[in-house]
């Protein structure tokens, strides 16, 4: 047996469980439609094809030509990478796996008729639907932010792409001695360590190019939400006097003319570059489809064994859009894991097999503290049948002892591998 075929077979057994080997009754005309080509959706599309031996038709609806990774995109702000380094075309999914990639927006879902309506007109029917829409940034939750963002004056850059490049240009234009302020919403939000990594990247750029400048972190949470001790050590040792952290700063408004950001209780803060990250909820199509049933209608509830929606049969929701299990981060790695687990469940259900009763997910989040040194947090999550949820395995994972260049090598290899696993 060729090594590639062996690895595919081994992966199928691990994801499907032994019940998946009992029959080959996969219906050749079954169709899975996937909305959203991010870490969750693209992975699910690829793995449905792989685990079904390409017998299930898969349609991926995605408006962009290429995937742009949010993980590592902060390096664009630091200046050590370009946005092109984060970009991978979707062509591999169609070329290598026969996935039909429809370049369009999904504008509506009819869960009774099992159809998806496209922005350019027409509908696509499905047997199973995967909704992986990422997040919607609630610009209206901060007074003045929607208009300031539309004008390109106050950016969030929390979806990697044009705003990432635009924020880098704002940093380049800022005079030496100026202040960059980043605001962080209350958890949960996409990528818990992301804002703190971004602060490190901007500080690294300032240290090399604008040494009299300052990074101000204004966090709505009481304290750093991920890798706190490590980030604080880096700020104190590597960026002493340049980075200032302030917790319990919940952003309420921005005033572009005055160059200030306002808070629920604390005094206004003035800065030359305002990077305001508002609160978030499940992506727009999930809300329009009525899948956002939890946490004040911000997130989507799922059956964690299959990732099937709690409110819509044969609709599976992945990634940042879901109401997470205890200790489960909204991360790219975790969305990739969701995609594989859901794909295995979907293939099993369409084939009449028993769903794997004990799925296990892993997570790793790497954070660059400068252009080479990295810290990480890792965890393993097992499905607990009695509680119908995932829980972190006691003693698994953990955090780095400190930033090292070796971990920087691991981080870059992780990125290359997960991009290939998702899109190749």
The percentage of the chain sitting over the pLDDT mark of 90, rounded to a whole number, equals 93
How far is residue 369's CA from residue 10's CA, in Å, rounded to a whole number?
A: 37
- The mean pLDDT value of the chain amounts to 94
pLDDT band at 4 (very low <50, low <70, confident <90, very high): very low
How far is residue 408's CA from residue 145's CA, in Å, rounded to a whole number?
A: 35
Strand spans (E) along 162-231? 179-184, 214-219
Mean pLDDT of 25-31: 69
Residue-wise pLDDT for 96-130, tens only, equals 999 999 999 999 999 999 999 999 999 999 999 99
**pTM score of the predicted model:** 0.93
Which residues are CB-neighbours of 112 under 8 A, at least 6 positions away? Answer: none
What's the pLDDT score for residue 13?
Answer: 44
Whether the pLDDT of residue 259 is over 60: the answer is: yes
Which residues are CB-neighbours of 338 under 8 A, at least 6 positions away? Answer: 40, 43, 44, 132, 307, 318, 319, 322, 361
Residue-wise pLDDT for 286-320, tens only, equals 999 999 999 999 999 999 999 999 999 999 999 99
How far is residue 323's CA from residue 330's CA, in Å, rounded to a whole number?
A: 9
Give, for 89, the enclosing helix (H) or strand (E). strand 87-89
pLDDT band at 401 (very low <50, low <70, confident <90, very high): very high
Residue-wise pLDDT for 236-258, tens only, equals 999 999 999 999 999 999 999 99
What's the pLDDT score for residue 27?
Answer: 53
pLDDT band at 29 (very low <50, low <70, confident <90, very high): confident
Residue-wise pLDDT for 198-231, tens only, equals 999 999 999 999 999 999 999 999 999 999 999 9
Beta bridge partner(s), residue 31 = 57
What's the pLDDT score for residue 8?
Answer: 47
Whether the pLDDT of residue 18 is over 50: the answer is: no
Q: At 171, phi and psi to the nearest 5?
A: -65, -40
Mean pLDDT of 325-338: 97
What is the pairing mode between strands 389-392 and 374-384? antiparallel
């Amino acid at each position: 047996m060729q090594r590639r075929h062996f690895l595919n077979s081994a992966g199928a057994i691990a994801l499907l469980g032994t019940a998946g080997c009992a029959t080959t009754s996969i219906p050749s005309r079954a169709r899975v439609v996937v909305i959203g080509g991010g870490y969750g959706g693209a992975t699910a599309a690829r793995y449905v094809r792989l685990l079904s031996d390409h017998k299930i038709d898969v349609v991926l609806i995605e408006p962009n030509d290429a995937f742009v990774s949010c993980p590592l995109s902060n390096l664009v702000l630091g200046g050590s990478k370009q946005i092109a380094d984060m970009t991978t075309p979707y062509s591999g999914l169609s070329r290598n796996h026969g996935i039909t990639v429809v370049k369009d927006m999904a504008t509506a879902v009819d869960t009774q008729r099992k159809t998806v309506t496209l922005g350019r007109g027409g509908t696509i029917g499905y047997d199973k639907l995967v909704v992986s829409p990422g997040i919607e940034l609630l610009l209206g939750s901060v007074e003045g932010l929607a208009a300031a963002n539309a004008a390109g004056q106050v950016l969030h850059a929390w979806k990697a792409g044009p705003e990432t490049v635009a924020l880098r240009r704002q940093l380049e234009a800022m005079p030496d001695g100026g202040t960059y302020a980043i605001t962080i919403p209350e958890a949960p939000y996409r990528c818990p360590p992301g804002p703190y990594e971004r602060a490190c990247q901007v500080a690294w750029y300032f240290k090399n190019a604008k040494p009299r400048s300052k990074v101000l972190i204004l966090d709505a949470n009481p304290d750093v939400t991920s890798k706190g001790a490590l980030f604080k050590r880096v700020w104190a040792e590597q960026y002493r006097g340049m980075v200032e952290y302030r917790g319990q700063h919940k952003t309420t408004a921005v005033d572009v003319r005055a160059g200030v950001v306002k808070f629920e209780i604390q005094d206004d803060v003035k800065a030359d570059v305002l990077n305001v990250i508002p609160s978030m909820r499940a992506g727009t199509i999930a809300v329009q489809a009525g899948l956002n049933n939890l946490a004040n209608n911000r997130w989507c509830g799922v059956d964690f064994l299959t990732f099937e929606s709690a409110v819509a049969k044969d609709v599976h929701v992945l990634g940042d859009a879901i109401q997470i299990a205890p200790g489960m981060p909204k991360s790219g790695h975790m969305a990739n894991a969701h995609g594989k687990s859901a794909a295995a469940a979907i293939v099993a259900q369409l084939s009449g097999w028993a769903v794997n009763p004990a799925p296990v997910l892993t997570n790793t989040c790497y954070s660059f503290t400068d252009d080479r040194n990295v810290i990480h947090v890792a965890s393993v999550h097992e499905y607990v049948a009695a509680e119908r949820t995932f829980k972190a395995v006691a003693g698994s994972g953990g955090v780095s002892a400190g930033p090292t260049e070796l971990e920087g090598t691991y981080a870059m290899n992780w990125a290359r591998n997960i991009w290939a696993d998702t899109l190749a």
